[in-house]
Amino acid sequence: METQAAYAELGLHPGATDAQLKASWRRLVAAWHPDRNAAADAGSRMQSINKAYQHIRQLRDGGEPDADDNEAAEAAPAPEAASAEPEAPHKTHVRTVHLSLEDAILGCTRTLHGHVTHTCSACVGKGQRVLAKACATCHGSGAVHKPALFGWMWNQEECADCGGDGRLRGPCDVCAGSGEQTVAYRRRVRFPSGVREGHVLSVPAANHGDMELGLELQVHIDSHPFFTLDGEGVLRCEMPVNGYAWMAGRWVEVPTPDGLQQMRLNRDALVYRLGGQGFPAAPRGPRGDYMVRVVPVFPTQMDAAQEALLDQLIASSSKAAEADKTQAMGQWKRSMKRWNTSQKRPARDE
């Protein structure tokens, strides 16, 4: 059998570890064993899976395939595969991932670390393993005799130390008798742009230690110092601006998810729409609009120099307004002057 084909048969790349090799083989054997798989080609698939596994084992061990593995492969399902846990232990680990609003908008890659505790696969959580020796309590018979009826008779009872099978037990060396194993995982995960609070992302299972570990990630978006996402998914920001700069239509710097940006103020507008710079309407979708509301701020107290500047501004703008016949300010001034003159007529006798 071709080596490349053997790896392909097991769904692995040649760099796979021994543990991955074994886990993959067990999983496939459990899935394709003709006792459990009714597919017409289950038997032949089983054969190719075992052949591929033996081929790689032989290659890696540099000689004869491991007798134990060989036997198990022929007699598959393997002992582990036949038990209640047919595959390498498989677990989905649920955890929360905190993203900033910018990360949620633009998408991001995170490396997640953690630990997961699972039932020891070597002893199936019992904390002990059966040894090749006979049980010391019952000397392998599986039964113990206990005096009954004041010692006149003997009752035979099942040996409690071996559970009646007569075999010696010792603490499991894989889990040191605890029945549990802890594996550390480290996964690089890509979060698409547009993920929202409460979204759940499933990360396919991968091998960690001797375990197939999948991740279920619940997205939590951290609150932001100035960006908010409203109920309709529109990104908003409210920022104070210098009232005079606003009147003068000056440029100001506004924060956007992509960084600072220049924006021109307009004294007729308090709300500005920055198209395509907001939150994506759907994951991986185009970005919506970003709405910036400006709050013009005027000083509450002014010094003498500022007062003088304002006086100048008022004087020059009044002059210009009065000169312009079409302006409301000029019209108002003229009609007020006419009215005032009419009030000064001498009093008439009745």
Query: By CB under 5 A, is residue 183 in contact with Zn ion?
Result: no
Sequence-ordered list of residues with C-beta below 8 angstroms from that of 318, at least 6 positions apart, any chain? 329
> Hey, which residues between 105 and 124 contact Zn ion (CB under 5 A)?
120, 122-123
236-295 residues near Zn ion, rule: CB under 5 A: none
Tell me if 130 contacts Zn ion by CB under 5 A: no
How far apart CA 255 and CA 132 sit, in angstroms, is 71
Find the shortest distance in angstroms from Cβ 141 to Zn ion.
7
Shortest separation between residue 16's beta carbon and Zn ion, angstroms: 24
Q: Which is nearer to Zn ion, 80 or 103 (CB)?
A: 80
The interface region with Zn ion, picked from 35-43, 127-135, 198-206, 301-309 by CB under 5 A, is 127-135
Binders of Zn ion among residues 39 to 78 (CB under 5 A) are: none
Which positions from 149 through 168 interact with Zn ion, judged by CB under 5 A?
A: 159, 161-162
Of 95, 93, 102, nearest to 221 by C-alpha is 102
Least distance to Zn ion, CB of residue 29, Å = 22
* Least distance (Å) between residue 79 CB and Zn ion: 15
Cβ atoms within 10 Å, residue 239: 15
Nearest to 76 by CA among 113, 108, 30: 30
CB distance 18 to 60 below 8 Å:
yes
> Whose Cβ is closer to Zn ion: residue 47's or residue 128's?
128
Exposed e or buried b for every residue in 110-144, given b needs 16+ CB within 10 A? eeeeeebebbbbbbbbebebeeeeebeebeeebeb
**For Zn ion, which is the closer residue by CB, 139 or 273?**
139
Dist. CA 230–CA 292, nearest whole Å: 13
Binding site for Zn ion (CB under 5 A): 120, 122-123, 135, 137-138, 159, 161-162, 172, 174-175
